[in-house]
Amino acid sequence: MTTMNQQILLASRPAGEPTASNFRLVQTPVGEPADGEVLVRHHYLSLDPYMRGRMNEGKSYIEPQALGEVMGGGSVGEVVASRNAGFAVGDKVVGMGGWQEYQLVGASQVATLQKVDTTHIPLAAYLGAVGMPGVTAWQGLTQIIAPKAGETVVVSAASGAVGGAFGQLAKTRGARVVGLAGGPEKCAYVTRELGFDACIDYKLHKDLESLGGALKSACPGGIDGYFENVGGMTLDAVLLHSNTFARIAVCGMISGYNGEPIPMLHPTLILVNRLKLQGFIVTDRLDLWPAALQELGSMVASGKLKYRETVAQGLASAPEAFMGLLKGRNFGKQLVKLV
């Protein structure tokens, strides 16, 4: 009997916030691998904020998601058939298989598939703490912010996969870490479980004066480094309390992912405080990934790097889970479990 592969395609481009109608669930037959090819059955799919930007047609740091094609994204799974000497049936692998249950990896694309060891690190962690989110946090910390012991660093979306890893990595380097997260439960997790020194519930602060006051209270010595995931009022508040020669790593600006303008109220502070403000994309420096994964993997295996996952069940749940991610409904890394 022919095995069928469920896939989710991008059916249309969103006008503002994505809706379920922008996605389409289809079924296609699963082919047998030819010479040099590998067939992977996905166990987990990764849902990430950057995917919202790819749904647009405009210029970005990555090619737009093609209409009528499988939604792209990270995946982990198991080799179920192989005609490639580098992979055996049963191998656990991480790749960019997208929103589908199976991926037939062509001979020319096999290099994008990496075998992973699940002896001490859970398979799903290779999409989070020991994957792209963890490496993103590591790069922003080590290559841009580079805190000295005793300096204060702030991270927005602190309970998320990137923010949580960033804060814990910063603590190992002796920094004082302050997070911003939405709601008392997430803030309690950030301080009690992840070990941050303080966490600000941004939902309690509706204007710049209020949020700025909370940051001033949490960072009485000012801010030396900021890992930016949000943009908008949060960035304005951080700029107002940044120290001279502070460093800001711009990873994402989720407040503008649906096309909203993101004004900056006090750009002169960049000059006044001689700030370093640098955007970065984690795939620009693939040469740094081995060092990052070595540290992240060791910390996860030893229990020193903690993380949380929100897991949606079944491929059909991916669109709703993705829309929830963009509204902050997830807690930690958002995954879709298929097996």
Q: Residues of 225-235 as b/e, b for ≥16 C-beta within 10 angstroms?
A: bbbbbbbbbbb
What domains can you pick out in the chain, each with its CATH number? 4-128+308-337 (3.90.180.10), 132-283 (3.40.50.720)
CA 85 to chain centre: 32
- Tokens, residue 140: 């922003």
Per-block average pLDDT, block size 10, for the chain (339 residues)? 92 94 97 95 96 85 90 97 97 98 94 95 98 98 98 97 97 98 97 98 97 98 96 95 98 79 92 97 95 98 97 98 93 96
The residues facing 177 across adjacent strands are 153
At 255 the pLDDT is 75
Residue-level pLDDT at 2: 81
Q: What distance in Å separates the CA atoms of residue 231 and residue 243, rounded to the nearest whole number?
A: 19
State residue 262's pLDDT score: 86
Is 0.75 surpassed by the pTM of this model? Answer: yes
Nearest to 76, CA basis, from 111, 101, 44: 44
